[in-house]
Amino acid sequence: MSLDDVILLLHPALAVVVVFPLIGIVLNRAILTRRRRLQTPSGKSQIAPTVGSEHLQLGRWLTGSVVGVALLGLAYPIGSKILETKRWTTHPFQVVFILFMFLTTIGSLILLYRARPWYWRAIFAGLTSLGVIVLGFQDGVFRRDNEWFVSHFYYGLVATVLMILSLAMVQDIYRDRTQVWRRIHILLNCLATLLFFGQGLTGTRDLLEIPLSWQKPHLDRCDFVNQTCPNVSSQLPVVSPPLV
Ligand code: HEM
Ligand code: HEM
């Protein structure tokens, strides 16, 4: 496998090895947190009181890993396009801007982890989300605009923004006695869970559609609209039958 193929595999491998197991644990702790909260007024619950803080700790890791994996997924096609077209010779400012956006997005996420007052959380959540969105609309990213409803890109973008919002609203969930923020959190994250399932499905589909680098020149000759490839058997060298 060439270095190019290995770099392409980093994103799906990290998603499968790190992000999806984390989603499983976060979901488990979320269900236990809710069950415990609903059981507690009517008597003693068997569920450990630590489930809420475990959900929060792992949720914080989940936000970081989802943003990280999304940025990695975007960096590969954007970087490939820049290298392929030698963009820095024709549009040097665009290349600097893209680098700046990657750094600003990561910096804003770090500051979001540290922010406490609501306005800083809103500003850094906004900046992180904006960074991911702006990077998503750069040249080279395969967005599947004509089939947006089954697009790995759009599902990933929305799921990433929902994780950023979850991190930004933690303090509000704890402070709010009316439970409105808690309900908003549940609603948004049920949607995020569905989108994560979608990411699993659309990601494996996309992986199947991307050829290894040595196969690419051959597959480039195929007609992807009509789903046909040149007849390979007609191009094979004619081998004369052995003389007996
Ligand atoms: C797959 C994504 C997630 C789902 C499905 C989810 C779902 C839930 C559910 C069902 C609850 C319990 C609500 C109740 O008590 O009725 C909860 C609580 C909470 N979630 Fe999440 N959540 C997710 C991700 C996150 C993330 C990423 C964070 C933060 C970074 C987070 C922070 C919290 C906090 C602070 C609570 C309150 C915990 C407590 O009561 O001690 N969640 N979540
Ligand atoms: C948390 C889950 C995930 C998120 C947030 C995510 C996000 C993204 C984003 C934003 C992109 C760039 C846009 C695009 O090309 O569609 C991308 C690309 C990609 N993702 Fe994911 N992804 C996730 C999981 C997965 C999984 C589980 C797989 C496969 C097993 C996968 C395979 C791919 C592939 C093959 C690409 C294309 C890279 C390219 O265009 O060169 N992703 N992902």
Judged against a pLDDT cut of 70, whether residue 244 lies above it is answered with no
Calculate how far, in angstroms, residue 50's C-alpha sits from the geometric centre of ligand 1: 13
Judged against a pLDDT cut of 80, whether residue 241 lies above it is answered with no
Whole-number pLDDT of residue 1? 84
Average pLDDT of the segment spanning 216-232: 87
Average pLDDT of the segment spanning 42-53: 90
The 10s digit of each residue's pLDDT in 106-140 is 999 999 999 999 999 999 999 999 999 999 999 99
Q: How far apart are CA 236 and CA 186, in angstroms?
A: 59
Instruction: Report the nearest-CA residue for atom 13 of ligand 1.
Output: 34
Mutate to test the pocket of ligand 2, among 4, 9, 11, 102 (most ligand atoms within 8 A of CB): 11
Q: What are phi and psi of 138, to 5 degrees?
A: -85, 165
Calculate how far, in angstroms, residue 174's C-alpha sits from the geometric centre of ligand 1: 11
Whole-number pLDDT of residue 111? 98
DSSP string, 133-183: HHHHTSTT----GGGGGG-HHHHHHHHHHHHHHHHHTHHHHHH-TT-HHHH
Calculate how far, in angstroms, residue 137's C-alpha sits from the geometric centre of ligand 2: 15
Structure tokens at 123: 């500003």
206 within ligand 2 shell (Cβ under 6 A):
yes
Confidence category of residue 237, pLDDT binned at 50, 70, 90? low
The 10s digit of each residue's pLDDT in 146-205 is 999 999 999 999 999 999 999 999 999 999 999 999 999 999 999 999 999 999 999 999
Among all chains, which residue has been given the structure tokens 């991190």?
A: 167
Does residue 220 or residue 107 have the better pLDDT? 107
CA trace torsion 196, 202, 204, 207 (10° rounding): -130
Angle separating helix axes 152-168 and 92-114, nearest 10 degrees:
40
Q: What are phi and psi of 239, to 5 degrees?
A: -105, 120
Euclidean distance between the first and the last CA atom of the chain, given in angstroms as a whole number: 43
Q: What is the mean pLDDT of the chain?
A: 94
